[in-house]
Amino acid sequence: MNEGSKNGNYVDGLSKSPEKICYYAMVNRVTNKNHKSYQHYQDMISGDKIEKSWLDSFENFLNDIGKRPSDKYTLHRVDNHKGYVKGNVIWANQLTQHINRDLKPGRSGFVGVTILGKNVKKKYSANIKMNGRNIFLGNFFDIEDAKVARYEAETKYGFNHTFEI
């Protein structure tokens, strides 16, 4: 990771850039066993935790992801069950981050799709949050129907899709 360095100091003009700070935070979360979020990434992500070429070089990461659009953007994994890999990492604003936040245990595993109680006829509920309001999309017998409702709402309201159907 010392490409472009001179006596350990980066000469690329990005040594204290927001991109480099985000990059090192990402690498630390996924590779440092002492990091508070390390186990979360080991448990939640199937497959590669981080793109190999990014581990080898900040420059590779920056070439693939690009510069941060503004200080309102942070690194974001589109699919929370996949790692920091090409095609799954974007710069996203707080709203996109909030919409796609990790689910707590006991839920369905899909953003905006909730498993209802045991003693109810319809087992799944779908919703989406927009402008601080929770929009109810319906209750469903089948999880696939609830996922379709959520997916269509994401399309309708212009959100990034949080899973594929």
Q: Worst-scoring range by mean pLDDT, 24-33, 92-101, 121-130? A: 92-101
Better-predicted residue by pLDDT, 29 or 101: 29
Cβ burial, residue 26 (10 Å; 0-12/13-18/19+): buried
How far is it, in rounded angstroms, from Cα 135 to Cα 153? Answer: 9
First to last CA, the chain: 38
Domains and CATH numbers, the chain: 1-101 (no CATH), 103-165 (3.30.730.10)
pTM, to two decimals: 0.56
